[in-house]
Amino acid sequence: MAFVLSEEQIMLRDMAKQFFSEQVPVTNLRQLRDDGSEDGFDRDVWKQIVELGFAGILIPEEMGGTGFGPMGVGIVMQEAGRTLAASPLYSTAVLGAGMIMAAGSEKQKKDLLPQIAAGELLLALAMDETNHHNPANIAMAATRDGDDFVLSGEKKFVIDGHIANKLIVAARTSGKAGDPKGISAFLIDVDTPGVTITRTHMVDTRNAANISFDGVKVQSDTLLGSADGAYPELENVLDMGRVCLSAEMLGGIETVFDTTLTYLKERKQFDAIIGTFQALQHRAAEMFCEVEICQSVVLDALSALEERRNDIPRAASLAKARLSDASRLITNEGIQMHGGIGMTDAVDMGLFLKRARVQAQMLGDANFHRSRYADLGGY
């Protein structure tokens, strides 16, 4: 594996960098926050994202997508992370489309994937039921009722849950919580009777929701994949989601590092540029090394997905654990090196720190992935 991008991937990166920096700068997130946006994202911006082909970046061309694959979507997510871009790209184009492609029937793929690529369908993956991520710990029941299923329970921290048209719901059709077997995935319309969606306001203004299911009756054709057998596909999609989320985090810490480095070269104290102080140089050097390591582990994980290597789970957990730790260090340093102004809303450091804290908890924090990495290695 070469740690370089192809000419086509470089063109995609440059296009995404230009779009997000010019059309979706950090000021866009500030405006959404200050205006108290009901959607939490700009629908005009989403139309532009769709027109660029990013909504269908994982979807094959014959189904309306652009078919750039995991490396392509990782590149786009990294550029989106640089500006804290708010959009349904992650929930719909990565997790949603990924789950339909992995577990959906041919009819479901033909019906839904073109709608996703056209930006007409927004999806949200409803999986976690506690404050701690654990895909096998699903307890929400889906009980058979003839040819139908009845779902009862709650889901928490559903990214983009309040703006989705359909939910992909992981529920237990057999077994007990903690058992990977017995988990099924259902594709449910948000207006189905018994579904109650409550938007939550995350510290970084990222869209999320808590969703309750009170005797929600769905037909068997809403199943994604086989009953009791959704866990393998779910884990595969979650690993892709973890890697793409790591790529988004990488874009954020690269911006924080670059901004902090510029500040160190400009800010004067005691009649000297503070970047000449040896203590700050040492701290900046540590930040640089962390960014370089993170770039390598993210690129390796994206390559593992692209090449369908056997070590995808370990590469995904390594990337997510490393980026979670590094984002905490680098955003903390960015705040501290900016001094008192870093603690104010006048600069963007605080926005990146808040986003990093939420990202670190999504799909498993550093402790979860260190433990998973060790388990996968036989320790």
- Mean pLDDT over 239-250 rounds to 98
DSSP-derived pairing of the beta strands 166-172 and 123-126: parallel
* Of residues 85, 230, 99, the one with CA closest to residue 167: 99
Q: Domain 124-229: which topology? A: Butyryl-CoA Dehydrogenase, subunit A; domain 2 (2.40.110)
CATH 1.20.140.10 fits 232-376, yes or no: yes
Q: Which residues, other chains included, contact 105 with Cβ-Cβ below 8 Å and sequence gap of 6+?
A: none
Domain with CATH 2.40.110.10 in the chain: 124-229
Closest of 379, 309, 375 to residue 134, by C-alpha: 375
CB 153 within 8 A of CB 159: no
Sequence ranges of the chain with CATH classification 1.10.540.10: 7-121
6-24: average pLDDT? 94
Does the 7-121 domain belong in CATH 1.10.3720.10?
no
Q: What's the pLDDT tens digit per position in 80-120?
A: 999 999 999 999 999 999 999 999 999 999 999 999 999 99
Residue 4 has pLDDT above 90, yes or no: no
Of 159, 126, 15, the closest CA to residue 80 belongs to 15
Question: In the chain, where does the domain assigned CATH 1.20.140.10 lie?
Answer: 232-376
| Total Cβ atoms within 10 A of residue 261 | 16
**47-66 mean pLDDT:** 95
Cα distances (angstroms) measured from residue 249 to each of 87, 171, 221, 222: 15, 29, 37, 33
* Beta bridge partners of residue 195, listed in sequence order: 213
- Span 199-224, pLDDT tens digits: 998 999 999 999 999 999 999 999 99
% pLDDT > 70, the chain: 99
In this model, does residue 27 exceed pLDDT 90?
Answer: yes
Residue 370 is predicted with a pLDDT of 97
Residue in the structure block whose two tokens are 């007409």: 120
Residue with tokens 């068997």: 220
**CA-CA-CA-CA torsion sign (282, 287, 291, 294):** positive
Q: From CA 298, how far away is CA 249, in angstroms rounded?
A: 10
Token duo for residue 56: 């269908």
pLDDT at 2 over 60: no
pTM of the model as a whole: 0.96
